[in-house]
Amino acid sequence: MSSIDEVKSQIDIVDLVGESVQLKRSGKNYTGFCPFHPNTRTPAFVVFPDTGTWRCFGQCNEGGDIFGFVMKKEGWDFSETLRYLADRAGVQLRPQTPEQQQQAEEYDSLRNLLEDAVTFYRHNLLNTPAGKQALEYLMKKRELKEETLEAFGIGYAPQSWEAAMQHFLNKGYSENDLVEAGLVSEREDASMYDRFRNRVMFPIRDYRGRMSGFGARILNPDDVPKFLNSPQTVLFDKSRTLYGLDRARRAIREADQAVIVEGYLDVIALHQAGFENAISPMGTALTEQQLRMLKRFSPNILLALDADVAGDKATLRGLDIARQAMDREQEPVFDPRGLLGHEARLQADIRVTTLPDGLDPDDVVNRDPEEWRRIVQDAQPVVIYVMESLARDHDLDDPKVKRDIAAQVLPLIEDVGSPIERDAYRQRLARLLRVDERTLLGMRVVKGGRARRLRRGDTPKPAVSPAATSPAASSQLLEAHCLGVLMRLPDLLYKIDRELQEKELARLSADDFQHSGHQPIFRMVQESLNQDMAEPLTYMINHFDLSTMERVDELLKQTEELNSNQDKVLEDLLRGVLELRRRSLRQNIEYMRFLMEDAQEQGDLTASQYLKTMVQHSAALKRINEALGDYTGDRRLYTKKDVNSRPLL
């Protein structure tokens, strides 16, 4: 038994969930109000002790096991959750190696140094003559209150080449410590100097609130760059960090929306005004790691762009809208196709809005908080935002303008996963351009992002339906085998996705794996295919954390002997994925039946809604069964012996 399974066997899911959800026994299951979205009318949150799972049949429509519950509740990743639950269950995880223990101690030492730096910069802001200028700028020009400055730990770096360095050397830190923490830089002659000078200092923390680096803004307009971050260090990775997330986590979950703005001061001003679900990528293009981090707290993500980033002042080339700004270390890029790709892979809802011309979020919220609220409420889906931005101030009576806009927007529409959304966007584009919708339907995307007429014999791109979620307990072995095959033959993922799309089914995603320990493994398979530094399996093994490697070893051991015929392995793997989805739908239908019967007994009118959902699930189940019918052979549920002797099923 693995450590993960041992933890699950030691913790009762009813006890765990019952600590934060008031549960009521209903037959052999328990119901309550979902803790992840506001709901005080219908208890649509169900705990199933037999399978050790939970599910919300209301707004969030999510489910999982004890790991999934804690991960969603606390916003932790799987490794953190495993350590927490293992400690609670008294299960001993694989001990750290001496090297890992030494590394952890070094990281703690660097974080302590950064915490001391917060104190140093705060002192210089509040208690030195030079800091008064910075304090006046923050409080009078940016309208920040004392309690806000204290809450965010904002400070001031003195105008000196070595004030900070000498301060920390006197406290016993070494020059190497200062370099590793990103507080000093090295000249060509190997001498050291303070990285931050005469700047407002913004402590940057990871989502757990631990110090990782600093952001700094100039006070002298002649200094460059305008914003300066800590360099890449063992603690600070800008592509994986979102400023303010440590303070915004709870608000994002409560509002069920994350709002992304550009700068530190925008985030701080919004928090001060009560809009605490704001975070910032610190002047860089959004990465999938950042969006995936946000998805832990809410799938609804809003990107608030400055007018000159997204509007007529920008140059639109290939639908990449880049801000030409000398005051950034790196130009922030608005890439609609990239956002749609993130949206599909993460199954998120990403929307975009534009600020009034010449105003930043802090300008808007300081002027009128209700104006900011309206801006957020008026946010649009990415495709609609782009088509309206392209059409603004152009002569839509000009046929060539219509052609160019259609040629740029249609590739975006093709990238949308839902066939219903695609149809709606085509209809909206046809109305915007005042053309017959059939004209747009007669065009298709070709390589290069343009569009052409659909010729005779061409096959339109198949529709994609939303992915289902697989049940936890009964399918764990099947999930494990599918993952083991994908780790050994990761390129099969491309073929699996293509086959699924041809059957009008969604691509394989982490949501297809109900076992929480399997989801990060699947994501690592995807990540290994998106890099070219090492062979995928080598990359995976080098990047799994220690708590996950135990499970990985098991999966690889179970798939040591695979059929040499990859076409056969692909067919069996695809059958396994379809079987996972079939089981998920069947179990969801049973869950719905339980809820419907319970609602009928209580005289609750929602019973009819549960019946409607059951009918929809039954229709989806029929499609899965039809897809499974395309494959011949033995479809019995495989056993442990089967796993060791044959590819699948």
The 3-class SS string of 225-248 reads CCEEECCCCCCCCHHHCCECHHHH
In the chain, ranges of CATH 3.40.1360.10 domains:
240-387
CB atoms within 10 A of CB 221: 8
DSSP letter assigned to residue 506: P
Alpha helices in 298-381 (DSSP H): 307-310, 336-346, 361-367, 369-377
Q: Angle between the 288-295 and 336-346 helix axes, to the nearest 10 degrees?
A: 40
Sign for the CA dihedral angle at 402, 408, 409, 410 comes to positive
- pLDDT number for residue 516: 75
Contact of 237 with 152, CB cutoff 8 Å = no
Contact present, 547 and 82 (Cβ < 8 Å): yes
Is 0.75 topped by the overall pTM? no
Sign of CA dihedral 222, 226, 231, 236: positive
Contact 489, 569 (CB under 8 A): yes
Distance CA 489, CA 491 (A): 6
253 phi and psi, to 5 degrees? -65, -40
Return the C-alpha torsion angle 523, 526, 527, 530, nearest 10: -160
CB atoms within 10 A of CB 523: 17
Task: Give pLDDT, residue 147.
Answer: 97
Identify the pLDDT of residue 319.
37
What stretches in the chain show pLDDT beneath 70?
A: 1-2, 40, 95-96, 283-284, 307-333, 443-474, 546-547, 598, 602-606, 630-649
Q: Give the integer Cα–Cα distance in Å for 256 and 610.
A: 24
Residue pair 414/461 in contact (Cβ under 8 Å)? The answer is: yes
- Domain covering 240-387 assigned CATH 3.30.930.10 in the classification: no
Q: Which residue has the tokens 């764990």?
A: 476
Sign of CA dihedral 263, 269, 275, 276: positive
Crossing angle of helices 492-502/566-602, nearest 10°? Answer: 60
For 19-45, b/e burial (b = at least 16 CB within 10 A) is eebebeebeebbbbbbbbbebeebbbb
CA 305 to CA 617: how far, in whole Å? 39
Residue matched to tokens 């030494």: 102
- For residue range 370-427, list pLDDT tens digits in order: 999 999 999 999 999 989 888 887 889 899 999 889 988 998 898 887 888 989 999 9
Q: What six digits make up the tokens of 98? A: 């001496």
Length of the chain: 649
Non-local (6+) Cβ contacts of 126 within 8 A are 135
- Decide: helix, strand or coil at residue 349: strand
Q: Three-state DSSP class for 278?
A: strand
Which neighbouring-strand residues pair with 215? 202, 229
| In the chain, ranges of CATH 3.90.580.10 domains | 3-89
Which three-class secondary structure string do you get for 72-101? HHHCCCHHHHHHHHHHHHCCCCCCCCHHHH
Provide the 8-state DSSP code for 185. Answer: E
Reported as type and span, the H/E element at residue 444 is: strand 443-445
The answer to whether the beta carbons of residues 300 and 343 sit under 8 Å apart is no
pLDDT at residue number 363: 93
Q: Of 29, 21, 39, 44, which Cα lies nearest the Cα of 604? A: 44
Q: Which long-range contacts (CB under 8 A, 24 or more apart) does 625-634 make?
A: 625/582, 627/503, 627/505, 627/578, 628/575, 628/578, 628/579, 628/582, 630/503, 631/571, 631/574, 631/575, 633/575
At 295, list the tokens.
């998805």
Q: Which tens digit of pLDDT belongs to each residue from 324-375? A: 322 334 445 577 877 888 787 777 899 999 888 889 999 999 999 999 999 9
Q: Is 3-89 CATH 3.90.580.10?
A: yes
Are the C-beta atoms of 480 and 555 separated by less than 8 Å?
yes
Residues 35, 37, 41, 47, Cα dihedral to 10°: -40
CA end-to-end distance (rounded Å), the chain: 23
Pick from 16, 5, 1, 35: nearest CA to 88? 16
What's the pLDDT tens digit per position in 575-600?
999 998 888 888 778 777 777 776 77
Q: Could you give the CA distance from residue 609 to residue 624 in angstroms, rounded to a whole number? A: 23
- C-alpha 121/C-alpha 113 separation (Å) is 12
CATH classification of 98-236 is 3.30.750.24, yes or no? no
User: What is the reported pLDDT for 318?
Assistant: 32
Q: Beta strands 380-381 and 349-354: pairing type? A: antiparallel
Q: Cβ atoms within 10 A of the Cβ of 504, count?
A: 13
Structure-block tokens of residue 22: 């008031």
- Nearest partner of 525 among 484, 479, 562, judged by Cα: 484
For residue 637, how many other CB atoms are within 10 A of its CB? 12
Buried b / exposed e along 410-437 (16+ C-beta atoms within 10 A): bbbbbbbbeeeebebbbebbbebbebee
| DSSP-assigned beta bridge partners for residue 214 | 203
Which residues lie below 8 Å from residue 237, measured CB to CB, with a gap of 6+? none
How far does Cα 375 stand from its chain's mean position? Answer: 23
Residues 6+ apart with CB under 8 A from 191: none
